[in-house]
Structure 1
């Protein structure tokens, strides 16, 4: 089986799940899967995917896993008690044929608290089932060669000695075994640059730091859970601060685009949050504008952390690091280029929240291809409310 532990997911799923338990325990949501890779045929593997998901839904947290989570400084006792009885409800996930040739449809509907952990392992399952069928007996020699080249690139970048990066590649990895090899290699070969992984199981296994705060779904859900739509981003950040009291202080900036984020990210949030994460649009422009925003709000940018995580490779990450060296703290979350660079095309797959409490929710990205909504009228209304440009 591909997923053998419920820890085999990203840390921000647990940090968001704890907020859901304490602040939004009755919220009902819907997620939908989408493959953005043209011509990828997933239909022959539907039964295999169903079998893997059935196994996923039988898993429960072990005492050892719960003990590990309980030792994370921001995880609270009642959340651990809840996880002790938790399992993913199989009745909440449906896998059928999609509308287009080769497409499959994966839908998750149910309590947010009980379904939030589906996304990452489901994407990992789809990836691994696809690659082990599409490229049977693929030699890992090319992947190891490329990984070694990345290590050499980082070690050669002596002009940015403070360069730090993390693995963010669970959802698009080639396989769980390759993912483990990558993380283990980085821990051993780049101890001064590799700061951890978003994958909780691998962080535990290789004694590195699990990393993550919030994802797009959290701010999207707040479109339906907050007092009014225009204030939903402020509401989301305030509820996060209420839960974590200054801990886990990296804000996600691109659910409504950077202009809307900066309008809401006022002096209070500039001082309260440790920094922000970039996930769409031009990273250099984003960084320059954010640093200027800190200065306008009388905050020293050198005390803040900018995290970049949008489709990075190591050369681009190092170029960004050079631009902002000495001007702020930077860190980089590298996903597909780290965990699925094997010499064969990677799948571009996502699984996004599309409804909360029966209401459409959406992400309006600075990168049009990342915008996702099931309701064009709601998307148009969202653009109007946040004064976003029409496409």
Structure 2
């Protein structure tokens, strides 16, 4: 059977950007990541245990090729010492365990963050592809191509609408929950060929390299969450995370993630200093219209012209949802749209809603308090209650 993972480069760009920041500023940090399925699969994921174990064995035998590292060196924000580190890097099998709990699959990665953080995306698309291999491949691809063609037509119809101040731009954010690697590649190649005016890049670094696309990504929740355990007051963890990011990237990768403890709490920390240093914000939970209005109002309060900033939407987007958000905001702020599952796993079969999140760092619990019920993450209820109290978050 063909291995699921084709290259260590085939992960989200933000894994590399966070990895570099941790390596430089917090190289001794340890972390624990836990896999979770949020919906009910068509068959028990526990049945995949042996196959997942085999794929992880294969993953831990892989290394970055010279050509792959040289590609990363062409990205101006990747520093030479980090690229050198990657030439030596290999995942360690001892840091990740796979177990079953009745019908459930339990996967846990535990060890130095610079060794275990990279497992997440690979685990997710390994589970996804193994899961969907049991479905009718021909039928799924037939339906997937039909829906992909419909998306292309939706964009072409949209192109006839009156033009707005800012252009519509979208990206592929669908690595982790894709139907398969081959289908992901076909989707990206099709979008790049058919919709070059709108399709501006992919979070998949392997496909960005292969198709000469812009790799897209900055930070994820785990980056911000880790600072809840670092040597800083809990109340100040967001400000410390943002400050370290600024010091690492000096103006590059300037999109900040806002929903680790909720948008309101984020904006209380996102003062004039950060608002000027960061190019924009990324939405990943809560009502997107309400979120965008809060962001624009915050910029206005700080006397910053929102038209100079960018809002990136990435929460369960579909093409119609992205287009409607564009119509609402396009004359007031620059926009970007990261479409994931509904781009790379849109067939007649229901996708898995799986995640693998950081739950502990440096031996302490960490958590995400989402603006969307059900998207929060954390295993220590006492810490979660304390976090809610500190940030006045009552969801």
TM-score range, shorter chain: over 0.9
Distance 1:139 1:264, change over 3 A: closer
Q: CA deviation at 1:206?
A: 0.8
Query: Which residue number in structure 1 is paired with residue 205 of structure 2?
Result: 200
Consecutive unaligned residues in structure 1, runs of 5 or more: none
Aligned-partner Cα distance in 2 for 1:52–1:297: 50
Say whether 1:130 aligns with 2:131: yes
Q: CA deviation at 1:160?
A: 6.4
* Residue deviations 1:27-86 (CA, integer Å, cap 9, x gap): 000000001112541111110111011101111000000000000010000001100100
Query: Which residue number in structure 2 is paired with residue 271 of structure 1?
Result: 276
Distance 1:189 1:230, change over 3 A: same
Instruction: Assess if the C-alpha contact under 8 Å between 1:160 and 1:325 holds in 2.
Output: no
Say whether 1:144 aligns with 2:149: no
Say whether 1:49 aligns with 2:52: yes
Q: Identify which of 209, 214, 231 aligns with 2:219.
A: 214
Instruction: Assess if the C-alpha contact under 8 Å between 1:160 and 1:321 holds in 2.
Output: no
Query: Which residue number in structure 1 is paired with residue 80 of structure 2?
Result: 77
Aligned-partner Cα distance in 1 for 2:111–2:354: 22
Q: CA deviation at 1:138?
A: 3.8
Instruction: Assess if the C-alpha contact under 8 Å between 1:4 and 1:56 holds in 2.
Output: no
Query: Which residue number in structure 2 is paired with residue 37 of structure 1?
Result: 39
If the length of structure 1 is used for normalisation, what is the TM-score?
0.98
* Residue deviations 1:175-225 (CA, integer Å, cap 9, x gap): 000000000001100001001000000000111110000000000001001
Instruction: Assess if the C-alpha contact under 8 Å between 1:160 and 1:322 holds in 2.
Output: no
Aligned-partner Cα distance in 1 for 2:177–2:130: 12
Aligned residues: 388
Query: Which residue number in structure 2 is paired with residue 306 of structure 1?
Result: 311
Find the residue that maps to 2:266 and give its secondary structure. helix
Find the residue that maps to 1:75 and give its secondary structure. coil
Find the residue that maps to 1:171 and give its secondary structure. coil
Aligned-partner Cα distance in 2 for 1:152–1:303: 31
Aligned-partner Cα distance in 2 for 1:347–1:331: 25
Aligned-partner Cα distance in 2 for 1:70–1:39: 40
Query: Which residue number in structure 2 is paired with residue 290 of structure 1?
Result: 295
Aligned-partner Cα distance in 2 for 1:131–1:64: 31
Further displaced range: 224-233 or 192-201: 224-233
Aligned-partner Cα distance in 2 for 1:352–1:168: 17
Consecutive unaligned residues in structure 2, runs of 5 or more: none
Query: Which residue number in structure 2 is paired with residue 23 of structure 1?
Result: 25
Find the residue that maps to 1:170 and give its secondary structure. coil
Instruction: Assess if the C-alpha contact under 8 Å between 2:140 and 2:348 holds in 1.
Output: no
* Residue deviations 1:353-381 (CA, integer Å, cap 9, x gap): 00000000000000021011110000000
Distance 1:308 1:60, change over 3 A: same
Q: Identify which of 229, 245, 254 aligns with 1:249.
A: 254
Find the residue that maps to 2:53 and give its secondary structure. helix
TM alignment of 1:277-356, pairs within 5 A: 277-356=282-361
Large movers: runs of 4+ above 4 Å: none
Aligned-partner Cα distance in 1 for 2:345–2:140: 13
* Residue deviations 1:277-329 (CA, integer Å, cap 9, x gap): 00000000100110010010011000000000000000010000000111000
Query: Which residue number in structure 2 is paired with residue 155 of structure 1?
Result: 156
CA RMSD across the alignment: 1.0
If the length of structure 2 is used for normalisation, what is the TM-score?
0.97
Find the residue that maps to 1:133 and give its secondary structure. coil
